[in-house]
Amino acid sequence: MSDVFVSYKAEDRKRVKPLVEALQAEGFSVWWDEQIGGGAAWRSAIESELNAAKCVIVIWSNRSVGPDGTFVQDEATRAQQRHAYVPVLIDKVHLPLGFGETQALPLTGWRGDRADPRYEAVLVAVRRNAGGKKRASTRAPVGQPRVDRRTMIAGGSVAALAVAGVGGWALFKPSSAEASRSIAVLPFANLSADASQAYFSDGIAEEIRSALGRVAGLKVVGRTSSEAVRNDDAETAAKKLGVGSILTGSVRQSPSTIRISAELIDGQTGLDKWSQDYDRAPGDAIKIQTDIAENVASALSAALGTVARAAVSLGGTQNPEAQRLFIEAVSIARGNLRTDFQKALQLLDSAIALDPQYADAYAREALLLIVYSNNYAGAIELPNDRADALRSASKALSIAPNLPAGHRALSAIYNSNLQMAPAYAELKRARELAPGDADTLSAFADFSARLGATSAALSFADEAIRLDPLNIRPYDVRLDALFTARRYEDAVAFGKFERTRFPDKKAAAAVAIGDSLVLLGRGNDAETYYALVPADFWARLTGEAIIRTRAGDRAGAEQKANQLQAQYGAAASTQLGEIYAQMGDRDRALAALEAAYAIKDAGLTNLKNDAFLDPIRSDPRFTALIGKMNFPLA
C-alpha cells in the first residue's frame, strides 16, 4: 500500500501532478486514481488504498468544494475519521461545512518548486503522518490517466474539441504583445446548493466579459470559446485560446448572502495576478461585477480613465432582481425555439418593469424581437414585431447612447428592412464602441464582405477568430468572405480546414464548399458536399438546380426549382432568382428578386456581390434594384 493517497477532482489533474511528482521525489509512494486500469475493480481499489494510506492529501479547489465534488468530500470525511487528513488549497475557496477546523495549507499558483515554503509546509504535514524516512518509489512515473473513476461512474465519455495546429492559417495565433493584454473569462462555478442557479453564475461571468469587451486596449475571448474550456486548468485554457490571462471565479448564494470569488491567473505561469473574495448582501452583486472588471482591466495595464470606467458599467441596472431576470432571459433565449424566445421576452418585460432605465434589457429585447420575427412571425405579426424592436432599440440608445448592444440591435433591424446604409452605420458604431467583442467583429466582417470590401472582411474575420477560436461562426464568416471575393480555390481549402477543426459539426462549411466547386465547374465534387446536408435544405436544392443548369439538364433544374418553391414558398425568392439567372432567364430572375424585395428577404443583403447573379448584373432592372437598397461604401 502507498504512503500517500491524493484525493482531488478529476478536472484538476494537471494541477495536482506537480505535487505528486514532488512527493515521489522525496521518496514517498503516492497513490492517485490515474493508476486504475480499465479492468480494475476500481471501487474496491480506491477504498483499500484510502483506508491503508498513512496520509490522505485532499485537494480543495473551486471544483472540489462545489456540488460536483462529492467524491472528494466523501474521501475527506473518511480521512478525517482516520486522522490521516491533510487539506491543501489550490484555489482560494471556503471549505465545505465540517472541514474548516483543520488549517488548510495553501498551494495556489505553485508550480512544483520544492524550495517554496508553501510546499515545505505540506511536506512537513506529510512526514508527520507518513514518516520521514526516504525510500525509492515503487510506482511508475506519472503519465496520462487511463480510466478516471468519476468519468466511469458518470457513464459518459468526454468529448474534447481537438485544438490542433492550423496549418496555413497560423496567422490566427496572436502575437506576444496581443496575448499580454488578452483575457478569457471562464464561466463562474455555481457553488450554491441549488444546481438550477448555474445560469446566474454563468451570467455573472458574461456580464463581466461584456464589460471588459468595451474597454479599449483589451482583447476579450468570446463566450463560445470561453465556455468550451470551462473545465480546463488555467494554463491549458490559455494555450487553447491564445490569451495571456484567465479570469475564473465562483458564486455561492443564500437567502442572506452572496459570495463571489474571482481570480485572475497568468496563463503562462499559473500564478495569481489578482484575486478577491466578496461576501455581501445579494443586492451587491452588481457592484461586485463592476469592481472585478475594473480590477482586471487595471491588472492588465489597460488605461482605465473616466471614459473606460463609464464603459464598464454602461447600460446596466442597480436593481438586482431586474438583472437576475435579464440573465435568465439571455440563458433561455439560447435554446432558439419559439417558446424560448417568448419566455425570454416576457422575462425582459419584467426586468424593464422593475427598472425602466435598464438600457441593456431594452437592447436585448430589440435583438430577440428581430430574430424571433425573422424566424417565426407570420405576415401580419412581422411588421408589428419589427416596429416593437425599433422602439426598444431606440429606447436603449436614448438611455445609453454609447451602448454597443443598442447599436447592434438597431443594425439588425435596419438590415431586416433592407436599409443597408443605416444598418452598416450602426454596426460600424457598435464595433467602435466594443472593439474587443468577437461577435460584433464577426458581424462587421460579414457585412463588409457583402459590401464587396473583402480584404477588410478577411482581416476582421481573422481578428474575430483570434478572439473566439473555438466558435465556428467567425470561420464561417471568413469562408463566406473568400467565396464573395471569388477566391473559390481558397474557399474550398479553408472550408476543408474548418471541417477538420470542427469535426463535430458534420455539415460545417459543406454548402460553401459545394457552391465554390460549382463555380469552379466541378459539379460532381459539389454534389458530394451538398449531400452532407438534408435533402430538402434550401441551399442544397439551389446548388443542385444550378449544377443541372450548367450541365444542360434544364428539366432537372426546373424540377429542383419547383421543389424549392413548394418547400419554402416566397421565402425562397432570392434563391429562385439565382437559379433563373444561371438558366439565362432574366425576366423570371428579376421578377423573383423583386418579389424578394417586397417581402424584405434577407437573402438580398448579398445582392451586390452574389456570384450566382452575375449573368443578370448588367441588366438595368438589376441596377435599379441595387439602387433601392442603398448599399453604402465600406
**Closest Cα to residue 270, out of 100, 113, 98?**
113
CB distance 542 to 515 below 8 Å: no
Calpha distance 410→425 (Å, rounded) = 10
> Which pLDDT does position 388 carry in this prediction?
95
Question: Model confidence at 149, in pLDDT bands (50, 70, 90)?
Answer: very low
| Residue of 117 and 333 predicted with greater confidence | 333
> Which pLDDT does position 34 carry in this prediction?
64
Calpha distance 174→384 (Å, rounded) = 45
Residue 294: alpha-carbon gap to chain centroid? 22
DSSP β-ladder status, 105-106 and 4-7: unpaired
Kindly state the average pLDDT of the residues 360-384.
87
> Which pLDDT does position 279 carry in this prediction?
81
Cell of 65: 468544494
pLDDT tens-digit map of 545-569: 999 999 999 999 999 999 999 998 8
Q: What angle do CA 463, 412, 363 make, to 5 degrees?
A: 95
For the ranges 119-123, 196-200, 230-234, the maximum mean pLDDT occurs at 119-123
> Which pLDDT does position 424 carry in this prediction?
97
CB distance 93 to 69 below 8 Å: no
> Which pLDDT does position 375 carry in this prediction?
80
Q: What letter represents residue 606's amino acid?
A: N
In the numeric block, the cell 439602387 is attached to 627
Q: What letter represents residue 589's amino acid?
A: A
| Residue of 532 and 111 predicted with greater confidence | 532
Q: 42 pLDDT exceeds 70? A: no
What SS3 state is found at 402?
coil
CB distance 402 to 429 below 8 Å: no
Percent of the chain at pLDDT above 90?
Answer: 49
CB distance 508 to 498 below 8 Å: yes
Question: Model confidence at 158, in pLDDT bands (50, 70, 90)?
Answer: very low
User: H/E element holding 250?
Assistant: strand 245-253
> Which pLDDT does position 397 carry in this prediction?
96
Ordered domains of the chain (ranges, CATH): 4-135 (3.40.50.10140), 173-313 (3.40.50.10070), 318-436 (1.25.40.10)
pLDDT tens-digit map of 112-130: 777 778 888 899 889 888 8
> Which pLDDT does position 138 carry in this prediction?
34
Cell of 135: 525510500
pLDDT tens-digit map of 65-101: 988 888 899 999 999 988 899 999 998 888 887 786 6
> Which pLDDT does position 367 carry in this prediction?
94
| Residue of 403 and 633 predicted with greater confidence | 403
What SS3 state is found at 261?
strand
Calpha distance 374→370 (Å, rounded) = 6
> Which pLDDT does position 161 carry in this prediction?
28
> Which pLDDT does position 171 carry in this prediction?
44
Q: Which residues pair with 88 in a beta bridge?
A: 59, 105
| Residue of 195 and 70 predicted with greater confidence | 70
Calpha distance 566→558 (Å, rounded) = 12
Under 8 Å CB-to-CB from 78, ≥6 apart: which residues? Answer: 50, 51, 56
| Residue of 35 and 453 predicted with greater confidence | 453
Under 8 Å CB-to-CB from 310, ≥6 apart: which residues? Answer: none
User: H/E element holding 263?
Assistant: strand 258-266
| Residue of 490 and 160 predicted with greater confidence | 490
DSSP β-ladder status, 189-190 and 245-253: parallel
Calpha distance 263→247 (Å, rounded) = 6
Kindly state the average pLDDT of the residues 49-68.
91
In the numeric block, the cell 424592436 is attached to 389
Calpha distance 510→528 (Å, rounded) = 9
> Which pLDDT does position 132 carry in this prediction?
64
> Which pLDDT does position 33 carry in this prediction?
72
Crossing angle of helices 573-583 and 586-598, in 10° steps, is 170
pLDDT tens-digit map of 171-183: 455 555 556 678 8
CB distance 186 to 226 below 8 Å: yes
What SS3 state is found at 256?
coil
Q: 297 pLDDT exceeds 90? A: no
Calpha distance 428→311 (Å, rounded) = 17
In the numeric block, the cell 490522505 is attached to 56
Residue 204: alpha-carbon gap to chain centroid? 15
> Which pLDDT does position 113 carry in this prediction?
76
Burial track 269-293 (b if 16+ CB lie within 10 A, e otherwise): ebebbbbeebeeeeebbbebbbbbb
User: 10 Å Cβ neighbour count for 505?
Assistant: 14
Q: 231 pLDDT exceeds 50? A: yes
Cell of 163: 485544438
Calpha distance 206→341 (Å, rounded) = 19
Torsion angle (degrees, nearest 10) of CA 607, 614, 579, 541 = -70
Question: Model confidence at 27, in pLDDT bands (50, 70, 90)?
Answer: confident
CB distance 75 to 201 below 8 Å: no
> Which pLDDT does position 103 carry in this prediction?
77
> Which pLDDT does position 169 carry in this prediction?
46
Q: 147 pLDDT exceeds 60? A: no
Q: 464 pLDDT exceeds 90? A: yes
Crossing angle of helices 70-81 and 42-52, in 10° steps, is 40
Greatest C-alpha distance within the chain: 93
What SS3 state is found at 246?
strand
Beta-carbon-side half-sphere exposure of residue 10 (alpha carbons within 13 Å): 19
pLDDT tens-digit map of 572-622: 999 999 999 999 999 999 999 999 999 888 899 999 999 999 999 999 999
For the ranges 69-83, 294-308, 365-379, 533-547, the maximum mean pLDDT occurs at 533-547
